[in-house]
Amino acid sequence: MGSLAELVALVIIMCTSVTMSLAQNPMAPTSSENPNTTVVIYNDLEGSWPMSYHCISRDVDFGIRRMPSGGSWSFEFRPSAAGDTIFLCSFAWRLAYRYFRIYIQERDQESAMFGCKRCEWKIREGGPCQLNKRTGKFDHCPPWDSQLFENN
């Protein structure tokens, strides 16, 4: 084992390395600047239909799940400091199968028009509808995505 002087030198080098690394990226958000986000999904299909769904991101796969009519499910995550977090979900009921990017960081970051820290979506036959923070209603209803987005 090395001498005490070698150990002290190693600790100093490690501390200097960490300090320099942090200094090179002073704009990286801290935990308080990049808080957790929650996505809530509600089954609002007509006719009391249960729904199967599968949500994934680049880093997480929640697996295939089933939600009863009127049910809900939520997940929490910390958006990427790089601003590129995306969660894609597939939804299936009766003979329908749809895709929707339920969270796109650029679209849904809290400062955006329909942005949110708690993003709530009702899944309907015609498409997903997001809770509008201005009206308090699920009246922001973008269309279903028409394909899988492998690069996003």
Q: CA torsion 48→134→75→44, rounded to 10°?
A: 10
Higher pLDDT, 103 or 116: 103
Which pLDDT band, with edges at 50, 70 and 90, does 147 fall under?
low
Q: Which comes out higher in pLDDT, residue 15 or 106?
A: 106
In this predicted structure, the answer to whether residue 129 has a pLDDT above a threshold of 70 is: yes
Query: Cα–Cα distance between 126 and 139 in angstroms, integer?
Result: 12
Cβ neighbours of 121 (radius 10 Å)? 24
Overall average pLDDT of the 89-93 stretch: 98
Considering the chain, what is the average pLDDT of its residues?
Answer: 82
Q: Dihedral of the CA atoms 7, 11, 16, 19 (nearest 10)?
A: 170
Place of tokens 């308080």: 32
- Dump pLDDT digits (tens) for 20-62: 333 333 344 444 566 899 999 999 999 999 999 999 999 999 9
The answer to whether 41 and 123 are in contact (CB under 8 A) is yes
pTM score of the predicted model: 0.74
CA distance 34 to 52: 31
Give 95-113 pLDDT, tens digit per residue: 999 999 999 999 998 776 6
* Confidence at residue 28, expressed as pLDDT on a 0 to 100 scale: 41
Domains in the chain, start-ordered, CATH in brackets? 37-130 (2.60.40.2890)
43 with 53: CB under 8 angstroms?
A: no
CA nearest neighbour of 144 among 132, 126, 130, 131: 126
